[in-house]
Structures are given as C-alpha cells and as structure tokens.
Amino acid sequence: MATETLVPLESNPDVMNKFLQKLGVPGNWAIVDVMGLDPEMLSWVPRPVISVMLLFPISDNYENHKKKEENDILSTGQEVTSNIFYMKQNLSNACGTIALVHSVANNCDKIQLTDGAMKKFLEEAKGLDAVARGALLEKTEAIINAHKELAQEGQTNTPSAEDPVNHHFITFVHKDGALYELDGRKAFPINHGPTTPDSLLEDAAKVCKEFMARDPNEVRFTVVALAASD
C-alpha cells in the first residue's frame, strides 16, 4: 500500500534534468523531447540514446492489456536477464522518479555518477528484490525530497498531491541484447525482444506506437529520451 501521495513530476526535460543532476547524474547525459515516432523525427534525437520514457494515460484498455499480458507471461514464461534493475512502485505519483531511476540504474556502465543520493541508493538497492527496492525508495529522503522540490517547477498550475492523476511513466532500456519495458505497476519487467544500443530508440518507438494504437482516440502521450548531451 502507498504510504504517501506525491505531486507528480512533470514530463518536462528541464525539470527532469534538474532532478537527475541534483542526484548526481553528470551533465553529459540529458533528457530530451522525442517530438515524433516516425524515422525522420527519431533522426533528430541526439545519440547515443540509453533510455526511452513514455508518459501515457491510464485507461481501461491499458489495464485490460496489462492483465492479459501478465497472465500470458505467467503461463508461457519469458527470459529476463539477471542484470536488469527493476523496482516496484509503492508511492502514488512517483512513476516519473521511478522511470528516471530505472533509466540511470540500467546504464551505470555509461553514466559516471558522482557521489550523491542516486549512487548511494543504487548501491544499497543492488542486492534487493523489486519489492524491497520500492520500499527502500520510500525511505530515501534525498530522492523523495528532490521529487517534491522539482514537482513544483515547470508547471503553471501545480496540482496538489490529492488531485486525481491518470497518467503514468514507464521506461524502455536495452540490456543484454533485449528491449525491456520497466513499469513499476506491473508484476515484472517485460521483454519485448531483441534490440541493440544503436536501435533502442527505434525499437522502443515501435512499442510506444502499440500503446497509442490501443487508445486511438487519446492524444495525451509524451515520449522523452535520456541521451548524450554536448
């Protein structure tokens, strides 16, 4: 059960980058907008891309697909590398922070974290399971306080923690040759098949399009990427 409700983090690259830098991610990696999912738009995104994040409306179609997907995987199985870092979401409206943690945690071989809250959290979380990692995040005041501070930025009308939120953030990363969807509300990571570091953005875009196709009358989708920054 969630013990606290946060104000959601906005899908705003400036806000998300301040959050990451506050926690020890160097400025040579940054969140950027993905303005469209066709090849031309994807070609504008700086490379390399090391994670893709999708913000989407939680709908009945999403919930139904989530339930069917989990049941199918439980009956047929899937391969999940032991090297993937995955955590459950306990705190309401913490999905933006969890998406960013998933992005960083699965790319520590590329991101040279400075000493700070993120590095400390990831070291403590290394040997834990997904549920225990979610519980640890709840108790990691430096990350929670950074979320609270930056959730107030970038919005003309900041919502209160009690306002209903029907959007959700998830992350796509490459790990050991596969594309993984990391959603703290799901039972486990989802393996979407083969990918490479070079094709991560294009392969994640295909899955994002599937989310959009399940809700064809919905326009409130946002895609951002964690990419190399000059």
Domain ranges of the chain: 13-228
The active-site residue, picked from 95, 147, 174, 208, is 95
pLDDT score for 186: 94
pLDDT score for 3: 53
Greater model confidence, 153 or 122: 122
Q: Residue 98 and residue 121: Cα distance in Å, rounded?
A: 12
Q: Burial-class residue 61 by CB neighbours within 10 Å (0-12, 13-18, 19+).
A: middle
Has 95 been annotated as catalytic? yes
Predicted structure pTM score: 0.92
The active-site residue, picked from 102, 147, 168, 174, is 168
Which CATH topology does 13-228 take?
A: Ubiquitin C-terminal Hydrolase UCH-l3 (3.40.532)
Greater model confidence, 164 or 18: 18
- The H or E element that residue 216 is part of is none
